[in-house]
């Protein structure tokens, strides 16, 4: 009834699923869920994920009733500006919400990531008689989650990895927005999940508390595979006229039907009224605090016997980097600067992983079946398998979307810094997971190689053009395209240290020239844009022209600037590995790199020119590619698309002649 009242007050929302799943939620939250409403971040709590996030009113009701800091006034403000009860659950907004859900299937996939994190963390830290990490991940999902392709990617991998602490409840009500799903969704869902290697409990009456309880106990006793509990429910259960109909899916019941529903359910109370007896029965604060206290006692004994492990566990779940991290990171950046290697930035990325990985036991990641191409498997990595659950490398298979959302779930669980990788062009498959990562401020690292037409003969299907621009337009995501091994090392350092949101690291397939010795500029790289090469005139003189470039095009800009300076045109080269970081800098710093009075500017990037006029201005020229690529060797493609030193010089001379 709280769900009904919330949707009715907002005149917006989805009452059907909350009403249909209320019995399941009651059994799970009252009898099984291990959590502490007074400390929503207790590390060994069970995780609950509402994958069918349109049923958010149910989650808010559960959080309020069990004692989280979510007063009734917030329920009354459901879906209103500035409330803690937004239309779909958002992590960081509502206490007790574990992940942002709404795009169907991603919550289920986040839950797979959480279960994988729990299993790996347990393998790394648990010892005989000390199950310090021992919790379940529960998720509610509906037909829409199962129709989305990401559910196949994630659940297939979950079965392969035998994530037995993952328990999913399928709300099998046969209804979606368009009506009866038999017209478009006739999958044999139990057989599908059996083929994945899941334990499947079929035909559970979702309105029978004893049947639900027995199913959960069955799931918990299964120790070698995840479980899907198929619950037969009636959408809008309790509504005399709308139950079982799509009319109750995404619209309020209406005042008359609310009155009828209250009568049918013998609910004599006013909207948002929680009788004292029921409120007392539901409140789980004391029980939750007792559970955490018992765990704390166990952890205290664990710390006495395994002090180093206990300290390491605490460090990781509190998201603290190792004490020697800064020295390690600085040493690798300076080593990269001294070695002056001309290598592909994907190889420089692997070198960074080889340097940083041994110092970061929380680093866990993998690739979508492209490990040799993405260079993501480093010297200290070990495959995470059912026989080696403590492994820190995940073979995701060709599952870009699932991989990315699993990484989000791992990050949200805590105790790890996840990274995952594919070709930049295939980030299209994963894009919505990155958007949710940015919205959720998830600390995950997304590695994309083969960053441009420089990959060559594979042609336009594999050559990204618009991708960098589109990611730079996304709020709260840091995008890096380094020009050499030094900038690559800095990009990785920044991605590991900055926990404010996700990071995208974009690397080349082809060899990149080492740019310049710049020991005095290493700190400037972290600002996203800096003066890599000054003109040959007097230092106090402003340049006649500024060349701005990223990635593999920086070497073209350097060579063009050298020749322009010989011709008497004072050309400055600005390397801008991260426009998103550069935009965060003070105006004073940005103006020192790109002086407003120097209006002759040329940007060079092997991708869309959209967005570059922000930096070159109305008097500048953005050089790039605004069509799809071609299939040919990389050197021929750069010439074909005009990304040459000669063309840069020509454009520069035209600008400075004006």
Catalytic residues: 400
How many whole angstroms separate alpha carbon 613 and alpha carbon 601? 10
Burial of 340 per CB tally in 10 Å (0-12, 13-18, 19+): middle
Neighbour tally for 448: CB within 10 Å = 26
Return the structure tokens found at 567: 């011709």
Closest CA to 604 of 544, 569, 567, 646: 646
How many whole angstroms separate alpha carbon 5 and alpha carbon 434? 34
Spatial neighbors of 467 by CB under 8 A, at least 6 apart, are 424, 425, 427, 428, 448, 607
What DSSP assignment string belongs to 437-464? HHHHT---EEEEE--SGGG-TT-TTT--
Whether 578 contacts 529, CB under 8 Å: yes
Closest CA to 53 of 92, 84, 98, 83: 98
Cite the DSSP H helix spans in 306-386.
307-317, 325-339, 345-356, 371-374
What DSSP assignment string belongs to 213-248? HHHHHHHHT--SS-EEEEEE--TTTT-TTTTTSGGG
Spatial neighbors of 635 by CB under 8 A, at least 6 apart, are none
483-517: string of b/e by CB count within 10 Å (b at 16+)?
bbbbbbbbbbbbbbeeeebbbbbbbbbbebbbbbe
Compute φ and ψ for 575, nearest 5 degrees.
-90, 130
How many whole angstroms separate alpha carbon 513 and alpha carbon 604? 16
**Which residue is listed with tokens 């790996």?**
120
- Give the helix, strand, coil percentages of the chain, each rounded to 5: 45, 15, 40
How many whole angstroms separate alpha carbon 416 and alpha carbon 316? 7
Q: Which long-range contacts (CB under 8 A, 24 or more apart) does 214-222 make?
A: 216/27, 216/28, 216/31, 216/32, 216/167, 219/167, 220/136, 220/167, 222/164
How many whole angstroms separate alpha carbon 380 and alpha carbon 93? 37
Compute φ and ψ for 363, nearest 5 degrees.
-75, 125
Pairing status of strand 199-205 against strand 179-180: unpaired
How many whole angstroms separate alpha carbon 145 and alpha carbon 143? 5
* H or E stretch at 395: strand 393-395
Spatial neighbors of 183 by CB under 8 A, at least 6 apart, are none
Closest CA to 348 of 359, 337, 362, 360: 337
Closest CA to 545 of 480, 601, 623, 625: 601
Whether 419 contacts 363, CB under 8 Å: yes
* Coil, helix or strand at residue 488: helix
C-alpha torsion sign, points 454, 460, 462, 467 = positive
């Amino acid at each position: 009834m709280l769900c009904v009242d919330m949707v009715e007050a907002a005149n917006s929302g989805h009452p059907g699923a909350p009403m249909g799943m209320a019995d399941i939620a009651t059994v799970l939250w009252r009898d099984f869920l291990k959590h502490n409403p007074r400390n929503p971040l207790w590390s060994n709590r069970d995780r609950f994920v509402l994958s069918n996030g349109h049923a958010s009113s149910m989650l808010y009701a559960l959080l309020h009733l069990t004692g989280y800091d979510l007063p009734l006034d917030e329920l009354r403000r459901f879906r209103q500006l500035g409330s803690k009860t937004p239309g779909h659950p958002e992590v960081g907004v509502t206490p007790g919400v574990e992940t942002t859900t709404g795009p169907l299937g991603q919550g289920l996939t986040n839950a797979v990531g959480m279960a994988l994190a729990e299993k790996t963390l347990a393998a790394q830290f648990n010892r005989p008689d000390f199950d310090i990490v021992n919790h379940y991940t529960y998720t509610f999902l509906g037909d829409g989650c199962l129709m989305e392709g990401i559910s196949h990617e994630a659940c297939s991998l979950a079965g392969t990895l035998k994530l037995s602490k993952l328990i999913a409840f399928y709300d099998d009500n046969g209804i979606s927005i368009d009506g009866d799903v038999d017209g478009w969704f006739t999958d044999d869902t139990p057989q599908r999940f059996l083929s994945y290697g899941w334990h499947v409990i079929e035909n559970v009456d979702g309105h029978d508390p004893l049947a639900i309880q027995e199913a959960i106990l069955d799931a918990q006793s299964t120790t070698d595979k995840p479980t899907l509990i198929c619950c037969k429910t009636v959408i809008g259960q309790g509504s005399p006229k709308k139950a079982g109909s799509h009319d109750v899916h995404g619209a309020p019941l209406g005042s008359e039907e609310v009155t009828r529903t209250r009568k049918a359910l013998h609910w004599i109370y006013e909207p948002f009224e929680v009788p004292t007896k029921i409120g007392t029965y539901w409140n789980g604060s004391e029980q939750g605090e007792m559970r955490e206290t018992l765990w704390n006692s166990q952890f205290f004994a664990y710390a006495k016997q395994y002090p180093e492990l206990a300290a390491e566990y605490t460090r990781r779940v509190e998201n603290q980097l190792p004490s020697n991290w800064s020295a390690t990171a600085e040493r690798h950046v300076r080593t990269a600067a001294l070695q002056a290697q001309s290598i592909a930035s994907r190889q420089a990325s692997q070198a960074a992983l080889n340097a940083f990985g041994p110092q970061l036991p929380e680093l866990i990641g993998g690739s979508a079946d492209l490990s040799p191409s993405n260079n993501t498997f480093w010297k200290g990595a070990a495959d995470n398998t059912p026989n080696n659950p403590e492994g820190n490398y995940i073979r995701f298979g060709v599952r870009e979307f699932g991989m990315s959302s699993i990484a989000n779930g791992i990050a949200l669980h805590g105790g790890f810094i996840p990274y995952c990788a594919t070709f930049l062009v295939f980030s299209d498959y994963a894009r919505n997971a990155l958007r949710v990562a940015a919205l959720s401020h998830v600390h995950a690292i997304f590695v994309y190689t083969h960053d441009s037409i420089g990959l060559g003969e594979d042609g336009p299907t594999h050559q990204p053009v618009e991708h960098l621009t589109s990611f730079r337009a996304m709020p709260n995501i840091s995008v890096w395209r380094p020009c050499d091994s030094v900038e690559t090392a800095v990009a990785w350092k920044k991605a590991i240290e900055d926990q404010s949101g996700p990071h995208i690291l974009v690397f080349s397939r082809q060899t990149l020239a080492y740019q310049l010795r710049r020991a005095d500029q290493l700190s400037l790289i972290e600002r996203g844009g800096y003066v890599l090469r000054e003109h040959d005139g007097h230092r106090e003189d402003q340049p006649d022209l500024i060349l701005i470039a990223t990635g593999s095009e920086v070497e073209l800009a350097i060579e063009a600037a050298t020749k322009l300076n010989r011709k008497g045109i004072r050309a400055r080269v600005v390397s801008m590995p991260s426009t998103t970081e550069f935009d965060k800098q003070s105006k004073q710093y940005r103006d020192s790199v790109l002086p407003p009075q120097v209006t002759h500017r040329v940007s060079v990037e092997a991708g869309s020119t959209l967005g570059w006029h922000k930096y070159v201005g109305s008097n500048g020229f953005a050089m790039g590619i605004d069509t799809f690529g071609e299939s040919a060797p990389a050197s021929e493609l750069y010439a074909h698309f005009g990304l040459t030193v000669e063309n840069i010089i020509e454009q520069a001379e035209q600008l400075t002649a004006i």
